[in-house]
Amino acid sequence: MNELPFRHVAIVVFGASGDLAKKMTYPALFSLMANNMLPKDRTHFIGAARSKYKMEDFHKKISSGIKQSSDQQVLSKFLEKCPYISLSAYDDGPSYQRLDSEIAKLESQSTGSGKNLRVYYIALPPSVFGDVSENLRKYAWHKEGINRIIVEKPYGKDYQSAKVLSNKLASLFTEEEVFRIDHYLGKDSVKSVLPLRFGANPFLSSTWSREHVQYVTVNFKEAFGAEGRGGYFDEFGIIRDVMQNHLMQWIILAGMERPNSLSVKDIHQAKLKFINDCRPVRPSDVIIGQYTASSKDPNKKAYKDDETVKKDSKASTFATAVLYIDNDRWRDVPFVIRCGKALDETRAELTLHYKTPPDSLFPSESGRTGTTFTIRDHPEKSHVLTATTKKPGRGFTVLNAPLSIDFSNPKYTDSYVPTAYEVLIYDAVRGDHTWFVPREEAEEAWRVWDDAIKNSESRNPLKYEYGSEGPKEEKDLLKQLGVEFETGEGRTVDVAKVIGDGGRVQTFAKEP
């Protein structure tokens, strides 16, 4: 893909010493280069942060996030393109002047034609976004070239600070130059909602509403904690970390009306309309928790035992919240979102739970015959629809059986499936804003969550053990709503009724 029309491409990773840079950004950059998505001879990946590293140590650090099985020759070629610059501080002008002259040197050595492209990726806590943007604009914005800035989530801390950040960015850059990244928008599992709903699937599109859907769940669970990330996580908590942005984006695509076309403008318009219809989440509809140490595994320490976390921290590492949408499609349908760290498993999925029609010939006494449709990102990428059907055998017993596609089957995928970060960084290099978050959307998403977050911060989070299913109190909220996170595919037990010998109807109501 070397036809990118640039003389030189500089991708600058701010916060190159951090967790995101190691786990996601550098592996994505490596893969883009290894798969020839960027011009090999004309691209550099410049790391910048305050930490001091010998070049060798920096390369060791970023290599540790890249797959061990990678071709070592390709890896060393990549590392040659990865200089590192230590900044004195994020608000220190001379550090940015140094950065600018380093990039200019690389640009001047390039033999390509076209304009120079600089992409600044801000993998830093939001508290420093402002300082970094100001100094970049002042000292390191290429005057004749093309410049872009990728801003990580969370976008501010609340509605007010998001507005302040927007005004700051707007005073420095054009909206065309700003790319607000939410890596969930780079995921196939999230984007697939569009063809599933608006492609040729009448069995889904015609049932995708309150008429047929009883409730929607988003179940995001991680079997690992926030270890070592206290510097960022403790101030933000899980609602701002994943619920207000990643999971909300998934819900927006699943809930919005059909855009007029797949143009950037139409998709962004449809998304914004949906957010405007979201009712602010009520504080009483939110459960929060924080993990304590595991009683079984001494390595699974309490959130507060992490050395990067304050000893009296009230940050939540678990939350369940209920969202309602005030429009004709979704009125009164609860969207129940759960997210948690240090739980019993890693899972990320969005599920529509269908109503059981009142005239069903196969009702279950527990009311659990409703079928489900799940779009899953973890533990495997799949779509699973469950259908009520006859269990083979004597009599007439019905069960919910999965009709599923597992995308780990190579039959369904290209040989090269880029990660969400690769997709989005490449989109930013090409200047495509479709799967980035526009200004108004980024701000409005806070309006939905502000009260709930503020209220949750005045409470003590409920306790749950590392490796458990979360705080027990969550069950009360779910019971009250009549909601289960389970998908139908697990229901391999008989439900409904059995017609026995001689055509007599017997009730078969037993379920585990």
Backbone angles phi and psi of 164, in degrees to 5: -60, -45
Please pick, from the candidates 61, 98, 118, 153, the single residue that binds ligand NDP as defined by CB under 6 A.
153
Tell how far CA 134 is from the center of its chain.
27
Map residue 305 onto helix, strand or coil.
Answer: helix
For ligand BG6, the closer of residues 346 and 366 by Cβ is: 346
For ligand BG6, the closer of residues 134 and 241 by Cβ is: 241
Q: How many residues bind ligand NDP, per CB under 6 A? A: 24
- Which among ligand BG6, ligand NDP, none contacts residue 18 (Cβ within 5 to 8 A by kind)? ligand NDP
DSSP tag of 208: -
Report in angstroms how near the CB of residue 84 gets to ligand NDP at its nearest.
10
Closest residue to ligand NDP, judged by C-beta, is: 18
* Euclidean distance between CA atoms 13 and 86, whole angstroms: 12
Catalytic residue, chosen from 8, 44, 59, 246, is 246
Strands (E), 202-355: 213-221, 286-292, 318-323, 335-340, 347-354
Report in angstroms how near the CB of residue 19 gets to ligand BG6 at its nearest.
8
Strands (E), 178-227: 178-180, 213-221
Backbone angles phi and psi of 42, in degrees to 5: -130, 20
| Interaction between residue 150 and ligand BG6 (CB under 6 A) | no
What is the chain's alpha carbon radius of gyration, rounded to the nearest angstrom?
A: 25
| Interaction between residue 247 and ligand BG6 (CB under 6 A) | no
Stretch that binds ligand NDP, among 44-52, 165-173, 185-193, 319-327 (CB under 6 A): 44-52
Strand partners, 221: 340, 347
Report in angstroms how near the CB of residue 48 gets to ligand NDP at its nearest.
8
For ligand NDP, the closer of residues 231 and 431 by Cβ is: 231
For ligand NDP, the closer of residues 234 and 285 by Cβ is: 234
Q: Catalytic annotation on 383?
A: no
**DSSP per-residue codes, 5-46:** -EEEEEEEEETTTSHHIIIIIHHHHHHHHHTT-S-GGGEEEE
| Interaction between residue 229 and ligand NDP (CB under 6 A) | yes
- Which among ligand NDP, ligand BG6, none contacts residue 242 (Cβ within 5 to 8 A by kind)? ligand BG6
Strand partners, 6: 115
Stretch that binds ligand NDP, among 13-21, 38-46, 94-102, 194-202 (CB under 6 A): 13-21
Give first-to-last CA distance, the chain, whole Å: 54
* Euclidean distance between CA atoms 223 and 178, whole angstroms: 34
Is the peptide bond preceding residue 471 cis, with omega within 30 degrees of 0? no
Q: How far apart, in Å, are the Cα atoms of 216 and each of 11, 83, 127, 128, 331? A: 39, 47, 34, 36, 12
The contact mask relative to ligand NDP for 117-146 (x = CB under 6 A, - = no) is: ------xxxxxx------------------
| Interaction between residue 23 and ligand NDP (CB under 6 A) | yes
- Which among ligand BG6, ligand NDP, none contacts residue 126 (Cβ within 5 to 8 A by kind)? ligand NDP
Please pick, from the candidates 20, 286, 293, 398, the single residue that binds ligand NDP as defined by CB under 6 A.
20
Is the peptide bond preceding residue 126 cis, with omega within 30 degrees of 0? no
| Residues 330-349 contacting ligand BG6, CB under 6 A | 348
Which among 97, 157, 96 is positioned nearest to 127, based on CA atoms?
Answer: 157
Report in angstroms how near the CB of residue 222 gets to ligand BG6 at its nearest.
6
Stretch that binds ligand NDP, among 14-22, 110-118, 422-430, 466-474 (CB under 6 A): 14-22
How many Cβ atoms from other residues are within 10 Å of residue 341's Cβ?
26
Say which residue the tokens 């970023």 belong to.
62
User: What one-letter code names the amino acid at 39?
Assistant: P
- Which among ligand NDP, ligand BG6, none contacts residue 348 (Cβ within 5 to 8 A by kind)? ligand BG6
Please pick, from the candidates 84, 155, 232, 274, the single residue that binds ligand NDP as defined by CB under 6 A.
232
Stretch that binds ligand NDP, among 188-196, 228-236, 283-291, 346-354 (CB under 6 A): 228-236
**DSSP per-residue codes, 45-75:** EEEEESS---HHHHHHHHHTTS-TTS-HHHH
Report in angstroms how near the CB of residue 238 gets to ligand NDP at its nearest.
11
Please pick, from the candidates 33, 123, 242, 319, the single residue that binds ligand BG6 as defined by CB under 6 A.
242
Structure tokens at 15: 């916060």
Write out the residues near ligand NDP by the rule CB under 6 A: 15, 17-20, 23-24, 49-51, 90, 123-128, 152-154, 183, 229, 231-232
Residues known to be catalytic: 246
Write out the residues near ligand BG6 by the rule CB under 6 A: 222, 241-242, 246, 348
